[in-house]
Chain A
Amino acid sequence: MSQASLNVNSEAASAEKVSGPWRDAWKAFRRNKTAMLGLGIIVFFILIALLAPFIAPYDYKEQVLMDRLKAPSAAHWFGTDDLGRDMFTRILYGARISLWVGFFSVIGSIIVGTLLGVLAGYYGRWIDMLISRLFDILLAFPSILLAIAIVAILGPSLQNALYAIAIVNIPTYGRLVRAKVLSLKSEEYITAARAIGMKNTRILLTHILPNSLTPIIVQGTLGIATAIIEAAALGFLGLGAQPPEPEWGKMLSDSRQFIQKAPWTVVFPGLSIMLTVLGFNLMGDGLRDVLDPRMKN
């Protein structure tokens, strides 16, 4: 008897565990093959980034001038660059830079964008006017051009490239959050919360922000893809990472003069950028289908 009731209890407990919006979303996500492929690619590159010091066969700064522009071989899987540095090692360490820039620039854009979006959407009136116009102005520039302008002011470095990318993408999240807040504001449960005397900050923190989370997660995942491409573009133009940092975009521009003699120096960094970006795009698309089907298209 007691055994049976125990079983029933544990069954009920596991049933409770199985339901819930995040768990449902994960189940749906797992069924989406392309999204899972994207997740796989991302996990692969994260592992590479984390384990780079342990799996890299050489030092990414180590120059062996005897081994300049060597084709891929057993000793150098992806060949060597014009300074005799091992390309495979540099690609591994490059994953750290790209993921770092992609992730943190998006976090920065999300924090500032959310703050501005909430202020604009919740308080409305002149605050909304001011912030919305600011977004319009920032969006009036092609993003890479605005990023170039910001780096031209701050000076070329990886750090400044990260700031530039973060600033450029603020309006994307700001507008998203503003629209979400506007639509939530007129919901009955918000009116109810206000009627029982809840303070604005508490309504924002406990009701509005958690409910704005899903579009931000979707957009953020896709945003990492954009940020990685933008960082690589700035690096390629010499406005991002500086030597000897093994940044993929910078590696491309350093090697492009050897493209005919040593195509591997150009093929592998570009392929790495493309795959990483593809991973985030696939996962972002999948997340959108699962978390926010209305956002499709």
Chain B
Amino acid sequence: MSSYLLKRVMVLIPVLIGMTIIVFSIIHAIPGDPAETILGQKATEQSKQALREQLGLDKPWINQYVDYMGDLLKGDLGTSIRTKTPIAKEIVPYLAATLELTAAAMLFATFVGVNAGILSAWKQNSWFDYTAMIIALIGVSMPIFWLGLMEQLVFALKLHWLPSIGRMNQRDPVESITNLYVIDSILAGRWDQLWTVIKHLILPSIALGTIPMAIIARMTRSSMLEVMNSDYIRTAKAKGLSQFLVVYKHALKNSLIPVLTVVGLQTGALLGGAVLTETIFAWPGVGRYIFEAISSRDYPVIQSGILIIAFIFVIINLLVDLLYAAIDQRIQYK
């Protein structure tokens, strides 16, 4: 196991370096003069030169990359052109907002997806199975930005059940400690606020979680069906165990391994989907941070935002692989 861990981490190093090269190249790949692209055509030569110096664009390419890597290793993500604030500091609340949203979405996706998959397999070819699988099929094909808009239309604008945008009630702001508002409102003992925060989380996390939910449901179903036909399940049934125990204890354990992989992969995919969901629900997360940076041509923010998300994505995939290896001892690194 420890040699597997070591090898798996070693493989990561070239990937991480490659990621930084790609992200570093974003600003250099802009056709023409990046300083002019960022500041606009009307900018004076003086201000363009100042920006080039600030971003180090006047130095040779290789020196720039070495400087960039040096800064990254020190935890310096550069400075936003728009707000003139260090990105490493500015990004923290955005990151927390994204993590809260993705965690809620994944919770929804896993809970609903796994249970729907189990029930579908248990009651194979029943009306529940058919309905669940049709919903899953539509869910996989759903453009999440459209689903988000439809949710807003029905549950916020027509029925007025849930708020359509934002993370909290602006007139009664949550006191930020961890920037994760669910936790912050619990720490403050403000249960009314917790309820408001949860209400704000529901629509965006369902929008974001629908595709993974559908994928997890389909995966769980097929994985369960495979296990349910195996000999040890027949034995468990023959021993007279209750159906519920057979399904939820014996069968689930062995069918969870492929499901776990899917959950991990989907968590990464969620980080990408967050850009769209956050735009629709005015959710102040990294996705929106990057999106706003694109419209204001704030390239350092675009670079660092993308790098951070990709980094988290890679780490999640690593954790999934390790967990997978820990559960299934047959897996070894080749």
Do A and B assemble together?
Answer: yes
Query: Which A residues form the contact surface with B (CB < 8 A)?
Result: 34, 133-134, 136-137, 140-146, 148-149, 152-155, 225, 229, 232-233, 236-239, 249, 252, 256, 259-260, 263, 266-267, 269-270, 273-274, 277-278, 281-282, 296-297
Q: Is the Cβ of A263 less than 8 Å from the Cβ of B141?
A: no
Give A10 to B296 CA distance when docked, in angstroms.
Answer: 71
Q: Can you report 25 A-B residue pairs in the complex whose CB atoms are below 8 A from each other?
A: A137-B15, A141-B309, A142-B268, A142-B271, A142-B273, A142-B309, A143-B269, A144-B273, A145-B275, A145-B290, A145-B306, A145-B310, A148-B290, A148-B294, A233-B143, A238-B295, A249-B145, A252-B149, A260-B157, A266-B150, A266-B153, A270-B146, A270-B150, A278-B141, A297-B258
Q: Is the Cβ of B18 less than 8 Å from the Cβ of A259?
A: no
Q: Is the Cβ of A225 less than 8 Å from the Cβ of B143?
A: no
Contact of B18 among A140, A153, A154, A266 (CB under 8 A): A140
Q: Could you tell me which residues of chain B, from 12 to 61, have a CB within 8 Å of some CB in chain A? A: 14-16, 18-19, 22-23, 26, 29-31
Minimal beta-carbon separation of B13 from chain A (angstroms)? 10
Q: Is the Cβ of A236 less than 8 Å from the Cβ of B271?
A: no
B313 within 8 A of partner (CB): yes
Q: Is the Cβ of A239 less than 8 Å from the Cβ of B22?
A: no
Give A175 to B295 CA distance when docked, in angstroms.
Answer: 34
Q: Do most interface residues of chain B lie in helix, strand or loop, or is the interface mixed?
A: helix
Q: Is the Cβ of A259 less than 8 Å from the Cβ of B152?
A: yes
**A144-B276, A270-B143 given; A259·B149 CB < 8 A:** yes
Contact of A237 among B11, B157, B291 (CB under 8 A): B291
Q: Is the Cβ of A266 less than 8 Å from the Cβ of B306?
A: no
B272 within 8 A of partner (CB): yes
Q: Is the Cβ of A233 less than 8 Å from the Cβ of B276?
A: yes
Q: Is the Cβ of A149 less than 8 Å from the Cβ of B306?
A: yes
Q: Is the Cβ of B271 less than 8 Å from the Cβ of A225?
A: no
Q: Is the Cβ of B276 less than 8 Å from the Cβ of A136?
A: no
Q: Is the Cβ of B19 less than 8 Å from the Cβ of A141?
A: yes
Q: Is the Cβ of B19 less than 8 Å from the Cβ of A137?
A: yes
Give A296 to B223 CA distance when docked, in angstroms.
Answer: 11
Q: Name the residue on A nearest B16 (C-beta).
A: A140
Q: Name the residue on B nearest A141 (C-beta).
A: B310
Q: Is the Cβ of B15 less than 8 Å from the Cβ of A133?
A: yes
Q: Is the Cβ of A278 less than 8 Å from the Cβ of B138?
A: yes
